A and B are shown apart, each in its own frame.
Chain A
Amino acid sequence: MKKFAIAVAAGALALGVAASANAKTLVYCSEGSPEGFDPALYTAGTTFDASSRQIFNKLVEFERGTTKVVPALATSWDVSDDGLAYTFHLRKGVKFHTTSFFTPSRDFNADDVVFSFERQRVKDHPYHSYVSGASWEYFDGMSMPDLIKSVEKVDDYTVKFVLNRPEAPMIANLAMDFASIESKEYADKLAAEGKMDQLNQQPVGTGPFKFQAYQKDAVIRYQAHEGYWAGKAAIDTLIFAITPDASVRYQKLKAGECHVMPYPNPADIDAMKADEDVNLLSQEGLNVGYLAYNTKVAPFDNVKVRKALNMAINKEAILDAVFQGAGKIATNPIPPTIWSYKADLKDDPYDPEAAKAMLEAEGVTNLDMKIWAMPVQRPYNPNAKRMAELMQADFAKVGVNVEVVQFEWGEYLKRSKELDRDGAVLLGWTGDNGDPDNFLAVLLGCDAVGGSNRAQWCHQPFEDLIQKAKIVSDTAERTKLYEQAQVVFKEQAPWATIAHSVVFKPVRKEVVDFKIDPFGGHIFYGVDLK
């Protein structure tokens, strides 16, 4: 039976994976269906994997496997001295995809850049509401409408962005998925034919792979873009086989029905390590999970109380029980894969005795508090309820009585923002653009109080540092400011930092040079098959 099985498995591999002797086909068992193919309309990584990360380019992009920004459709850029004008010099000779539904008549130019941003920014642009309920989630979420004053074409290969205020993370923002460059010529053609919504279903970009077909909830097919400006991809055909169940994805990987799979079950990790056909890649995720106290409410407005509670949490135990090895203890508010991460920052030691004494010294005895546990799984917190229960037990040891509360996810997000919220909240964040500002200002800035700053923490020395870092364009200087900000954060302890996830990515042995994307994406340009 075993011999037969091997023969069949080999046959399946040969049949399912290699389309013909020479053409190379890579199959990716993706975890879900894309919502659409216009990345600017969405925020889900699954949608970006299927669209922006294969089909489109941006002016600048993250170097594969890093958070470093490198030139892409823009070859270079100048920033004015006041930090308000960004002038991009565009790459020449870049071809859009020729597909069964569109044949471009011209190369990429400044019109495409202006179109791609103006449709998101200008409310009466014909493409602003081209599908029902169109909302430019990331563009709006990153405050682009307030930030960008204008996007102007200087000449065919020069575009100028004028800002309302200096914003050092601007370049990193333009490497994000919402900044993907669409073809204006294609959009105009669709508008003339009265089929504007096709822009979200049959995409045309300049990226390494061109869209071929999507069978809803089943398969997405791509072909390598022959005229890709950075050179044709090593694989000829890219196929996404949509497979929602993690155990089934692993079975498919074993059977050779796919080459790469995301999000393995933690329970399968050991088997994958032992599997001869599989390389298990791993890297720390660009995220942080935390417990945010409400610093506006007594006794959590007292930094010593917060410090004492932090010392009562046994993080090692949490990592074992909740992350099952797929996590790393977090000390800083930003993950180690982000530049300016201060590696020598000391974490609050686990010391229940000292914690109890500190609480008593502050006159806090028989404290009753709530810990909010998220109802959903996230990479930064795979099981919030379990985590909250472990903390409940830890806090009981220092005389703090914890009630664990849960709400439905939408309600949780809403109620946890309230200024007078009763209790500490478990939550986390996954980075968007690899800039420290995207963590420190978004999660801990004064402007975000009552919003994404769940600790309701506005501390002027910290605020001054991150505001200054926002307007300085020199990275070395920004690094220093963010390092100082992390020290202030740790002293003030608005959160208990808990964990950064560790991402595992099983790929078959014949896959060459697949790199884990710190942003959680799956990028197949640069990947080859043996």
Chain B
Amino acid sequence: MIKLLFRRVGLMIPTFIGATLLSFLFIRMLPGDPVLLMAGERGMSEERYQRLLHEFGFDRPYWQQYIEYLWGVLQGDLGESFRTKVPVLQEFLTLFPATVELSLCAMLLATVLGIPAGVIAAIRRGRALDHGTMGAALVGYSMPIFWWALMLIIVVSGQWGLTPVSGRISLLYYFEPVTGFMLIDSLLSGQEGAFGSAVQHLILPTIVLGTIPLAVVARQTRSAMLEVLGEDYVRTARAKGLSPFRVVGIHALRNALIPVTTTIGLQIGVLFGGAILTETIFAWPGIGKWMIESVSARDYSVVQGGLLLIAVIVMVVNLMVDLMYGLINPKIRY
């Protein structure tokens, strides 16, 4: 186990260097000069343009900029946003809890609903329930997030008035963030109704962001269950006269969960992608929205720093998923 951990962490080092290089090059490969974009229609004199290029360090060769960037990264310095003039890491840490909170809720929704749906579909293979569940999963998977979010807002918030339209909590409540997680902060604030308001605000974004992972988890669970249900040991368990619940719930599901866990781990990356749209629509102050705005403004430090941090998080989550296999299935030894 320890050996595996070392080997995997060792593998992460070249991946990390690759991520710094890709994030550095990605934003620079996009056409568009950040200094010119800043000036807009107004334009600026050649002298001023050169001076600003120099101040931002954009006049130096790429390899030199990259080495300086990498040196900064190794010291924990991701630079400063040239729009807001605030350190990238500080902005990231302010916004990241909002994305995590939303992503966790979406993942929770996806697993809590997706795994049972997949199991039921597998047990009822070929019947109406199976077709219905998998059809719904296909629709969910193909749904354009933007459209789905607007439909929910217009119907659920606008026409039925059941949930707030957007934001994280009612503007009535005001308290300084402690953890950055609104569910926790609202409880800590001690203000009556704050927690309920935070939950209400989470409902629609969670559904929107959780829809695609939910569909993926349900389909993956179904196919993994089908494979396992055909195994000899399941037949043996049935022959021994175990209750259907024990056969499916204990013997089959536990084995089927291994590929599902991998899928869930991989969905974390997908969640960050989905968060970009979801956050923009629901005015959710997370990193998705932050990254989109920074790409449009060619805010180099934010884009390369943000991409790198996201890459690191995805790497860490996947490492944790790999380590979890052993917990789910004791047969797996490293």
- Partner-B contacts on A (CB < 8 A): 1, 4-9, 12, 15-17, 19, 25, 27, 32-33, 35-36, 41, 43, 131-135, 137, 140-141, 197, 200-201, 213, 215-219, 221, 239, 241-245, 247-248, 251-252, 254-255, 257, 407-411, 413-414, 417, 427-430, 451-452
Contacts and interface: CB of A to CB of B under 8 A. Distances in A.
B40 A248 contact: no
Interface stretch (B164-172, B215-223, B262-270, B325-333): B164-172
Contacts of B63: none
Contacts of B157: 251, 255
A431 to B, nearest CB: 11
Contacts of A239: 171
A514 to B, nearest CB: 19
Given A16-B172, A133-B56, A133-B85, A248 B282 contact: yes
A215 B281 contact: no
Contacts of A216: 91, 94-95, 285
A410 B298 contact: yes
Interface of B: 30-34, 36-45, 48, 52, 55-56, 80, 82-86, 91, 94-95, 150, 153-154, 157-162, 164-168, 170-172, 174, 176-177, 280-283, 285-286, 289-290, 293, 298
Contact of B55 (A6, A133, A417): A133
Contact of B289 (A25, A217, A414, A429): A217
B283 A8 contact: no
Contacts of B32: 408-411
Contact of A429 (B41, B45, B159, B298): B41
Contacts of A131: 80, 85
A147 to B, nearest CB: 14
Contacts of B164: 12, 16, 255, 257
6 contacts: A7-B161, A8-B161, A16-B170, A213-B174, A245-B280, A247-B153
B85 A134 contact: yes
B172 A36 contact: no
B82 A5 contact: no
A137 B85 contact: no
A9 B167 CA distance: 16
A410 B31 contact: yes
A5 B159 contact: yes
Contact of B158 (A19, A215, A255, A413): A255
Contacts of B285: 215-218, 242
A5 B91 CA distance: 38
B162 A8 contact: yes
A451 B48 CA distance: 13
A137 B86 contact: no
A20 B145 CA distance: 37
A410 B52 CA distance: 15
A42 to B, nearest CB: 8
B281 A219 contact: no
A248 B162 CA distance: 15
A428 B40 CA distance: 11
A198 B332 CA distance: 54
A221 B174 contact: yes
A254 B158 contact: yes
A5, A25, A217, A407 — most chain B CB neighbours (10 Å): A217
B171 A243 contact: no
A177 to B, nearest CB: 14
